[in-house]
Every structure is written in structure tokens, then in C-alpha cells.
């Protein structure tokens, strides 16, 4: 996220990588990799308010997004992961196809102050993105 400080105030995530070779097809000359982006045990994101420390999911929060909405702030915190599956050529290493599933499980609050301490009730927020690519020859 581009932080212009007028609209986007904070946008951070902290991830570790888990890479697995899931398939090698020598006859068809491709390999498939699974690259999992997972929350680290100790995420390195700034959580400016105490309410953001409580985990939203089954790991420590590793994603934060704070935006301005008029004179108020919309603050969200939670768990971000994404899985990338890539099929690559064994001949030249080119990416033949890929998919990325990108879920965020978050808690969001509208706040009256920049310190994010004078806030309304939390509400759940789910983000799901799916991106697909393929090589056109």
C-alpha cells in the first residue's frame, strides 16, 4: 500500500516463507512449487493501540491497515496469509502458470482519534483475493 498519509496512514504486514516442491513431471518438463506466506512467531508490525494486540485468529496479528475517512480513522488488524502455486518449465525456468490465494482475517474499528484509542465496537472484516497468471506463447 502506498502511504500518502492523507488517506493511507499505516499499512504493514510481516510474513515468513515456507517453500515446497510439490511435483516434478520430467516427461512434460515442468515442476510445481507451493510458496506459503505465513505469519511469523513474532510479527514485526507496529500495533499502536492496545486493542490490536489480541489475536484475531490462531496466530499473532501480522497485518495492520489504518486509513483516514474524513475526520475519523478506520483501523483494521489481523492475520494475513497467502499461498502461491507456481508451475515452472524445467527447460528454461519460465513461469508457465500461477495462482495466488490471499485471505485476510481481520477486526476493524472506526476511531475518533489518531492514537486509535477512542473507537467504536469491533466488527469482523474478511478480504479474499485470487490472482491467476499463465504464460501465453
In a domain, 42, yes or no: yes
For 56-97, what is each residue's pLDDT tens digit?
999 999 999 999 988 899 999 999 999 999 999 999 999 999
In a domain, 81, yes or no: yes
Sorting pLDDT into bands at 50, 70 and 90, what band is 3? Answer: low
Cell of 59: 496466530
Question: Considering the chain, what is the average pLDDT of its residues?
Answer: 93
In a domain, 137, yes or no: no
Site of grid cell 498519509? 5
pLDDT value at residue 4: 53
Reported for 130-136, long-range contacts at CB under 8 A and 24+ positions apart, including other chains, are 130/99, 130/100, 130/101, 130/102, 131/99, 131/100, 131/102, 132/97, 132/98, 132/99, 132/100, 133/95, 133/97, 133/98, 133/99, 134/96, 134/97, 134/98, 135/94, 135/95, 135/96, 135/97
For 38-54, what is each residue's pLDDT tens digit?
999 999 999 999 999 99
In a domain, 1, yes or no: no
pLDDT value at residue 70: 87
Sorting pLDDT into bands at 50, 70 and 90, what band is 7? Answer: confident
Mean pLDDT for 23-27 is 98
In a domain, 49, yes or no: yes
Would you say how long the chain is, in residues? 137
In a domain, 99, yes or no: yes
Number of domains within the chain: 1
Domain that holds residue 27: 8-132
Q: Is pLDDT at 2 greater than 60 in this prediction?
A: no
Residue pair 19/33 in contact (Cβ under 8 Å)? The answer is yes
In a domain, 63, yes or no: yes
In a domain, 19, yes or no: yes
Q: Determine which of 2-6, 41-45, 104-108 has the lowest per-residue pLDDT on average.
A: 2-6
Amino acid at each position: 500500500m502506498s502511504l500518502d498519509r492523507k488517506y493511507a496512514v499505516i499499512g504493514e504486514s510481516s510474513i515468513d516463507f515456507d517453500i515446497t516442491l510439490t511435483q516434478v513431471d520430467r516427461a512434460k518438463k515442468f515442476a510445481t512449487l507451493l510458496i506459503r506466506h505465513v505469519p511469523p512467531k513474532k510479527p514485526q508490525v507496529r500495533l499502536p493501540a492496545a486493542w490490536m494486540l489480541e489475536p484475531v485468529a490462531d496466530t499473532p496479528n501480522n497485518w495492520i491497515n489504518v486509513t483516514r475517512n474524513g475526520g475519523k480513522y478506520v483501523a483494521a488488524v489481523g492475520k494475513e496469509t497467502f499461498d502461491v502455486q507456481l508451475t515452472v518449465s524445467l527447460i528454461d525456468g519460465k513461469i508457465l502458470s500461477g495462482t495466488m490465494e490471499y485471505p485476510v482475517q481481520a477486526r476493524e474499528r472506526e476511531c475518533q482519534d489518531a492514537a486509535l484509542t477512542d473507537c467504536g465496537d469491533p466488527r469482523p472484516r474478511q478480504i479474499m483475493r485470487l490472482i491467476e497468471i499463465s504464460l501465453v506463447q
